[in-house]
Structures are given as C-alpha cells and as structure tokens.
Amino acid sequence: CGPYVVPHAFIEGWAVRTNNPPSGHVRGEGAMQVCAAYEGQMDKLAAKLGIDPAELRLRNTLSTGDILPTGQTVTCPAPVAELLQAVRDFPLPALPKDAPEDDWLLPGGPEGAGEPGAVRRGVGYGLGMVHMLGAEGTDEVSTATVRVHDGVATVICAAVETGQGFTTLARQIVQETLGVEEVHVAAVDTDQPPAGPATHGRHTWVSGGAVERAAKMVRTQLLQPLAHKFGMSTELLQIADGKITSYDGVLSTTVMEAMDGKELWATAQCRP
C-alpha cells in the first residue's frame, strides 16, 4: 500500500522454490517494483472516482501515528503530504527549444519498448517508502571504538562496507569531530562487537551514530584538560583544521600539542 493510509487491506503472498542459484546483494531490493504497483493502483482508483491522481494521494498520505497494514505504527516524522505537495507545486521544466514536434522522437521513445503502442508521455506523481532498520527496529544496535594516537585516528566497527559508503562516512565523522586529517578504518573481523545487517542506509544512522558518539567522547577527553586549565567550558572550544581554539581567541593550539603523546580512545553504542 506504500505511504498511504489503507484501513482495509488483504495481503496474500506465495513463496516459490526453484532450482536457481540464490541471488546476491542488489541495491533497491524490490522497493521500486512494489512502488510501481501501488502507484498504478492509486491512478486506477483516481480514474474510477473521477479525482485528480495527485489530490487522491494527498487525501490519503501517511502521517505520524498511522498504522500500516502489517500492524506497525508510524512513530517517526512522516512528512509525506508535505513532500508530495512540494513536488506538485514545483514548476515543470520547459521543453528545449530544439525539441522535435513529434513526441515519439524525444529521448526515451518507443525504440526498444516491448509494446510501442503503449508508450505514453506525461507527468506522474509518486512516493516511495522503505524501512531504514534491517530488523524492523528489533534489537537494533551497533558498537564502535575510536582511538587516536600521534594525530592518527582509527575507527573499529563491525559495519560491513557493501558499497553504501560507510567507510568514507566514518572517516568524515571522525575528521569533523576531532579535527584530525588521517583516519583509518580497521578491517572488519568477527572479534568485534556486532553492528547488525548492512541493509539500505542503516549503517549511516546506526553505525555512523556509534562512531559519532565514540568520537565525541574522545573529543571530551581531549578538551577537558584545556578547558580546566583556562577556566572555561568545553562547549566554548572548537576544533577545526587540526587546531583547537577558544571562542575569545585566548587559546590556540594544535590537536597534536594538546594530545602530548597520549593515546585517547572510547567505545560507544547506538541503539535507536
């Protein structure tokens, strides 16, 4: 049913066993196909009711507190109507001046289509919805350790990099939080605390959250001695480009000087 309120839903599914090899990891994981199905269903309903398709969608969008056909309650912010309205209000782009008069000659025409006679051009409105937590919110937890020594930071986390960019993200979080340029992400092994499944953008939120919390704990360890020495709160100190400065400019030192050869580390968990 997608991101729409459907109080009366009957769902029936089939599991088919074949002799085909198991499929590998593919991004998208069926969400696009399901989206095309329920959006086509909304268009058919709008046609039957004589209602503008976008208006029908706006009348039935999900919001916080609504219950999905699976029985799950939407507890997070759900700006579905706002997103659809923003898309609807956005002006459509004009055709290029040199565009052919015949729509069939425009890019993406009937060439190669299974049924050329079924190709139509128009403007469609649709919404996609996918869960961010691989276990549907059950026991979602990730653990990360951030260690800094001689100006080099190391991130230890069992989050598996499958092409979603977590390794780059972890480096960026630590660089921004601690002001160190060189950040290494340790190889993943089974001795590390679990980080959960590597589905969708989950690691950005859960594992990235664990890395951020650990980095902030190290940041506190780094700044507290300086704050105590100069009689100010750590909140009045900032780290940027490898330097630590105070709000009034009285304090200015490098991260390396502040560490003074010490090794700082912290371990944190993120459980949404």
Q: Per-residue pLDDT tens for 109-157?
A: 555 555 666 666 677 778 888 766 555 555 678 899 999 998 899 999 9
Percent of the chain with pLDDT over 90: 36
Query: What is the rounded average pLDDT of the residues 34-45?
Result: 90
- Domain hosting residue 47, numbered range: 31-118
Per-residue model confidence (pLDDT) at position 192 = 80
Q: Which residue is listed with tokens 């580390």?
A: 265
Per-residue model confidence (pLDDT) at position 82 = 94
How does strand 152-157 pair with strand 182-185?
parallel
Is residue 211 within 8 Å of 166, Cβ to Cβ?
no
Is residue 270 within 8 Å of 141, Cβ to Cβ?
yes
Q: Is residue 75 part of a domain?
A: yes
Q: Where are the alpha helices (DSSP H) in the chain?
A: 31-49, 53-59, 80-89, 166-178, 202-230, 255-259
CATH number of the domain residue 238 falls in: 3.30.365.10
Q: Is residue 5 part of a domain?
A: no
Per-residue model confidence (pLDDT) at position 13 = 83
Per-residue model confidence (pLDDT) at position 127 = 86
Per-residue model confidence (pLDDT) at position 85 = 93
Per-residue model confidence (pLDDT) at position 221 = 94
- Minimal CA–CA distance to 238: which of 214, 219, 257? 219
Q: Is residue 253 part of a domain?
A: yes
Determine the number of helices (DSSP H) and then strands (DSSP E) in the chain.
Answer: 6, 7
Residue 205 confidence (pLDDT) above 90: no
Cα distances (angstroms) measured from residue 71 to each of 6, 7, 65, 67, 135 = 12, 11, 12, 6, 15
Q: Is residue 124 part of a domain?
A: no
Are both 112 and 157 inside the same structural domain? no
CA angle 127, 132, 134 (to 5 degrees): 130
Tally the domains of the chain: 2
Q: Which amino acid belongs to residue 101?
A: E
Are both 151 and 258 inside the same structural domain? yes
Are both 100 and 220 inside the same structural domain? no
At which of 118, 133, 161 does a domain end?
A: 118
Rounded to whole angstroms, the Cα distance separating 22 from 252 reads 58
Cα distances (angstroms) measured from residue 41 to each of 33, 45, 57 = 13, 6, 11
At which of 118, 133, 158 does a domain end?
A: 118
Query: What is the rounded average pLDDT of the residues 225-234?
Result: 89
Q: Is residue 113 part of a domain?
A: yes
Mean pLDDT of the chain: 83
Are both 198 and 251 inside the same structural domain? yes
pTM here? 0.59
Are both 111 and 154 inside the same structural domain? no
φ, ψ of residue 113 in degrees (nearest 5): -75, 145
At which of 103, 118, 133 does a domain end?
A: 118
